[in-house]
Chains A and B, each alone.
Chain A
Amino acid sequence: MSRQGARLDAKRVNSELFTLTYGTLVAQLLKDYENVDEVNKQLERMGYNIGIRLIEDYLARTGSGRCYDFKDTAEKIQAGFRIFLGVSPQITNWGAGGDEFSLVFESNPLTEFVELPDHCLNLKYCNILAGVLRGACEMVQMEVTSWFVQDQLKGDNVTELRVKFIKRLEDAIPAGED
């Protein structure tokens, strides 16, 4: 596509700036809510609101079509991480029904420079990603849920985000698309 190339690169920002901005956000939320579970919830909600807008950017940039299989979806989500975060998570651990998979991050730009203090061991620091996935998929008429099963911040080797397909939102499919 014509836009990839010079014009897209011009919009690239240093990932450190992004990492630190996100860090500020989480720190501020912790200050505001003083309750780790509430912060997890808020992060997810914010992510959702980002996701429902970000999906249009993704579709406009990639020109990708509708998914008719969750495997397509997985690959497209992977491509999304490449575009927006510059990382390529691995797709592994497919569930037997083909409706569940894991995204495994060797490195995660959100968590660079981050150590969790003792009092927030329950904090899902990257929970915004779960919200983004939910929002973005919902806009293309797919209900998914996702959660972290491994987290580098909690001593695991890798960060693993489990994504599960719940259902297609048949009512919401626009005419001419179903």
Chain B
Amino acid sequence: MVIYSVYIVSKSGGLIFNYDHNIPKIETEKTYSFPLEHKLVYQNKQVVVAFGQRNGVNVGHLLLAVNGFPVNGRTIEEDKNPRDVFEVLENPENYPINLKFGRSKMSTNEKIFLASMFYPLFAIASQLSPQPRTSGIQILEADTFHLHCFQTLTGVKFMLIVEPSQTGADLLLHRIYELYADYALKNPFYSLEMPIRCDLFESNLQNLLDQSEKAGISSV
């Protein structure tokens, strides 16, 4: 029973709420000697493992820190002199060196971008259908997660990203809809279509997800 995250997309396609519930944190830290056993490349302003998947460091993981100093872009944020990651790693004198790798986290901007990408996909799905009057995407399956989408009659989309074995997501989505109707919309300071920043909504949602993870969705 794992619920990864919840997204709410407004009628016009903008991300108005997102909540990461239970994203496992994957970080590995190890001291390396020269030469480095992972091939690193610089892409999208991040230093990424391109090849050489071993010891828990997978292709696609980011270099997060060098000797405990965080990596920002391709520079190591040391107190005195910020240095370039690749220059440091290519110099044998700097070894042994302690590197921390981890999975990339999505930034808010990326989430907004992805949410607005889902919107046309949903619309395309409803048009591709051989039958008239079809809903858009309701479940999107991948090997590591399932995305459940519930669109209300007013056009708001609620999305739940869960473990593939999770059942009862429909019910849970409906309960989230009820929370939205109660805590977001009845808040007089919340205006429609705008991002939801309501603590009551968030804490109630958190309770709901915790409960359904512990005791099963049918109990909520």
List chain A positions with a Cβ less than 8 A from chain B: 2-3, 52-57, 59-61, 63, 65-66, 139-140, 172, 174-178
Assess whether B153 is in contact with A177, with CB atoms less than 8 Å apart: yes
Interface residue? B182 (CB, 8 A): yes
List chain B positions with a Cβ less than 8 A from chain A: 11, 122-123, 125-127, 133-136, 151-156, 174, 177-178, 180-182, 185-186, 192, 220
**CB-CB < 8 A to B125: which residues of A?**
176
Instruction: Tell me the nearest residue of chain A to B11, going by C-beta.
Output: A174
| C-alpha gap A139/B152 in the complex (Å) | 10
Nearest CB of A to B177, in Å: 5
Assess whether B180 is in contact with A60, with CB atoms less than 8 Å apart: yes
| C-alpha gap A61/B174 in the complex (Å) | 9
**CB-CB < 8 A to A66: which residues of B?**
153
**CB-CB < 8 A to B186: which residues of A?**
53, 57
Partner of B181 from the list A2, A60, A65, A178 (CB cut-off 8 Å) is A60
**CB-CB < 8 A to B135: which residues of A?**
176-177
Partner of A176 from the list B126, B174, B182 (CB cut-off 8 Å) is B126
| C-alpha gap A176/B126 in the complex (Å) | 5
Instruction: Tell me the nearest residue of chain B to A65, going by C-beta.
Output: B153
Assess whether A177 is in contact with B178, with CB atoms less than 8 Å apart: no
Some 8 contacts from A to B, beta carbons below 8 A apart, are: A53-B186, A54-B185, A60-B152, A63-B174, A140-B154, A175-B123, A175-B127, A176-B151
